[in-house]
Chain A
Amino acid sequence: MSDTSAQILLRTTVNGLDVAVAIEPQETLAEVLREKLQLIGTKVSCNVQVCGACTVLVDGLPVSSCTYLAYEARDRQVLTIEGLASKDGTLHPLQTAFIEENAFQCGFCTPGMILAAKSLLDQRPDSSEHEIVEYMEGNICRCTGYRSIVAAIQKAQASVADRSS
Chain B
Amino acid sequence: MNRLPAFTISQPQSVAEASEMLASLGDSGRLYAGGTELLATMKEGALLYDTLVDVKTVPGLADIRVQDGELWIGAAVTHFSIETSPIVRELLPVLSYVESRVANTRVRATGTLVGNLCFAEPHSDPATMLLCLDARVVAQSTRGERQLTIDEFFVGAYETALEEDEVVTSVVVPLPPANWRMAYKKFQIIERPTLGLGVVLELNDGGDSVATARAAVGCVSESPLRSSAAEAQLAGPLESLLERLDAAGDSLADEADLLDDREGSAEYKRHLIKVFLKRAVQQALQSDGPSR
Using a CB–CB cutoff of 8 Å, the interface residues on chain A facing chain B are: 1-6, 8, 24-28, 31, 44, 47-50, 52, 55, 58, 61-64, 67-69, 71-72, 116, 119-120, 135, 137-139
**Which residues does B use to contact A, with CB under 8 Å?**
1-13, 17, 21, 35-36, 39-40, 43-44, 52, 80, 103-107, 109-110, 191
Known: A67-B36, A137-B104. A5 touches B8 (CB 8 A): yes
B111 to chain A, nearest CB (A): 10
How many A-B pairs fall under 8 Å by CB?
89
Contact for A61 among B9, B109, B191, CB less than 8 A? B109
Given A63-B109, A116-B105, A138-B104, 16 other A-B contacts at CB below 8 A?
A1-B13, A4-B8, A25-B6, A25-B9, A28-B4, A31-B1, A47-B43, A52-B106, A62-B106, A64-B110, A67-B43, A69-B35, A71-B9, A135-B105, A138-B105, A139-B104
Q: Are A48 and B44 in contact (CB under 8 A)?
A: yes
Query: Could you tell me the distance between the alpha carbons of A44 and B106 in the complex, rounded to whole angstroms?
Result: 14
| A64-B106 in contact (CB<8A) | yes
CA A24 – CA B9 in complex, angstroms? 10
User: In the bound complex, do residue A62 and residue B13 qualify as a contact, i.e. CB atoms below 8 Å apart?
Assistant: no
Chain A, residue nearest B14 (CB): A1
- Separation in Å of the A110 CB from the closest CB of chain B? 16
Other-chain residue from B40, B52, B105 in contact with A67 (beta carbon distance below 8 A): B40
Q: How many Å from the CB of A107 to the closest CB on chain B?
A: 19
Give the residues in chain A near B109, CB-CB below 8 Å.
58, 61-63
Determine how close the nearest CB of chain B comes to the CB of A67; give it in whole angstroms: 5
Alpha-carbon separation in the docked complex, A67 to B44 (Å):
11
- Once the chains are docked, how many angstroms separate the CA of A8 from the CA of B12? 16
Closest A residue to B192 by CB, please name it: A50
